[in-house]
Amino acid sequence: MHDCLLIAEMQTKILEYVIQSDRGHRTLAALARTCKALAEPCLDVLWHRQERGLGALMKTLPADLWEVSYGSLSFTRQFVWSDWTRFSYYARRIQELSVGINAFANGHGTEYLRHKTTTRSLDEISIDVRALDTMSPSGVPLLCNLRQLAFSDDPESMKVARFLLAPTIRTIHLDFVSDIFTDSDATTFLAILKNKCPFLGHLEFCGIPDELCPTVSQFICGWENLQTLWGNQSPIVTDETFIHLASLPTLSKLKLNLGYNSLPLALPSQSFAGLRDLDLCTYNIEVITDLLKSSHRHHLLPLRSLALRFHSPISVQPVELTHVIHDHCAHPCLTRLVLHDASHIPCSSFDSYMLRPLFAFTKLVIVDIFYDLHRIDDTLLGEMAKAWPQLERLTLGNNMEINGTNMTLAGLVPLARYCPKLEATWLPFDASNIERPGRKFRNRQLTKLGIGYSNIKDAMAVAEFLSDIFPNLCSISWPAQNRAAGEKWREVLKMLDMWRREGG
């Protein structure tokens, strides 16, 4: 029995990998039609996530049951038991649904309805509320296994979302895109949400209007079992809400825009005990340093991911920030680190003294530092490579036009030598003076290289250098404004493509 479960799990993982490819949906659909043993697993993966609303599911109902008139779907007759056969067969497989927005990654093309005289997608067609009531008169959930629902606050999406709310749902993603969703609307809907989805653990809000923030904040305070709170763009946290979140032992993922808010004075003694992923945006970086210092006074914060974004010139020096991260985050746990200066106002740049405290985090897989990095040179880049051998992605620099850099192409060699898992890196460097490194140290995983405003003189020499250490490099990106060097970098990419095809 255990072996059968392992085989089924492996099958599902393989099929989930297949569906990520360019023709993944067609491949799985063909497998479902031609291989009886894989038909059920293929259909489970194909229907697991529906990114275009209820359109595909509606098409499983008999064609004589419904019609579209003036952009609205309605039913032409009463349901009979046999109408539900195909619908139920597929509906039970849906666990993630997006209505009105494409909230999930890896979106695919919309299927189009060709019924009567319309060619509009069912995503664009209004479903009459009386039709929805007809489909589930007893209040039984239409999608019995739905666990994640994403929608926007426009009237059509809200209408369908209310109809689909059920106790099975664990994740809600609400995107505020309309200007007609009032405070009264928000209060009413959030009350319905709490009543119909009592086991909700993951809340994701995007673009909350300022006038609705108090209502949403009050709603958050009513949830005792939150595991994830993703609040994007707008500050939604009052002191009361922040203290509530800090006291939740179940909260593991937190993303907030703190705006100009300061840290509440009275945080619980063991704040954010279960926190593993922290993403904060603020105009006041002292809030971040104070939070890291106060959260775990007696033991280190076991974060897996830490992303800090600041929107004004920071008064706390970067060296203090990195020392606070070093002193208050558990070194073996952190695998992702993002430091983003979004103020676009020149200030003191990172240098070796500021970065070295971060070298203690030897398990880092992703490092993105969007900051002025003029003082980073090849020596320090080599120290990074040795300190972070698990790296899969490295980004250094703010992608703004620069007047020179201390990093050169030679600085890439330690990355090839000490970071065998590195798949992508973005950093500016001086490519004018080149000494070919040879093929002693090669990284075959790296396929993407972002170069910012890197200069270049000899395209052939640069291509030979990169081919020596990154033989599978197939993508080089630079800002569109970098027209002066762009043509030569295109030559580099063409040569790399040619040599790779020839097996050089």
Determine what percent of the chain is predicted with pLDDT higher than 70: 80
User: Residue 116 gets which letter from DSSP?
Assistant: T
- Listed residue (72, 49, 73) closest to 61, CA to CA: 73
Indicate if the pLDDT at residue 19 is higher than 70: no
How many CB atoms neighbour CB 357 within 10 A? 17
CB of 258 closer than 8 Å to CB of 232 = no
Please state, in angstroms and rounded to a whole number, the distance separating the CA atoms of residues 483 and 25: 39
How many CB atoms neighbour CB 222 within 10 A? 11
Please state, in angstroms and rounded to a whole number, the distance separating the CA atoms of residues 47 and 57: 9
Indicate if the pLDDT at residue 282 is higher than 70: yes
- What is the model's pLDDT at position 293? 81
Determine what percent of the chain is predicted with pLDDT higher than 90: 33
- What is the model's pLDDT at position 118? 33
Q: Among 23-32, 152-161, 286-295, 422-431, where is mean pLDDT lowest? A: 23-32
Q: Can you read off the two tokens belonging to residue 364?
A: 């880092």
Q: Among 8-12, 138-142, 277-281, where is mean pLDDT lowest? A: 8-12
28-32 mean pLDDT: 76
Band of residue 26 on the pLDDT scale cut at 50, 70, 90? confident
Band of residue 234 on the pLDDT scale cut at 50, 70, 90? low
Indicate if the pLDDT at residue 108 is higher than 50: no
Cα distances (angstroms) measured from residue 24 to each of 42, 96, 121, 348, 388: 11, 18, 21, 48, 34
- What is the model's pLDDT at position 318? 62
- What is the model's pLDDT at position 340? 85
Return the top range by mean pLDDT from 14-23, 149-158, 307-316: 149-158
21-49 mean pLDDT: 80
Q: Which residues contact 93 (CB under 8 A, 6 or more apart)?
A: 43, 44, 46, 47, 48, 145
Average pLDDT in the chain: 81
CB of 76 closer than 8 Å to CB of 66 = yes
- What is the model's pLDDT at position 107? 32
Domain ranges of the chain: 1-47, 51-171
Cα distances (angstroms) measured from residue 410 to each of 376, 392, 448: 13, 19, 17
480-488 mean pLDDT: 77
CB of 274 closer than 8 Å to CB of 252 = yes
32-48 mean pLDDT: 84
Phi first, then psi, for residue 280 (nearest 5°) are -125, 140
The residue count for the chain: 504
Please state, in angstroms and rounded to a whole number, the distance separating the CA atoms of residues 170 and 149: 9
In Å, how far from its chain's centre is CA 23?
22
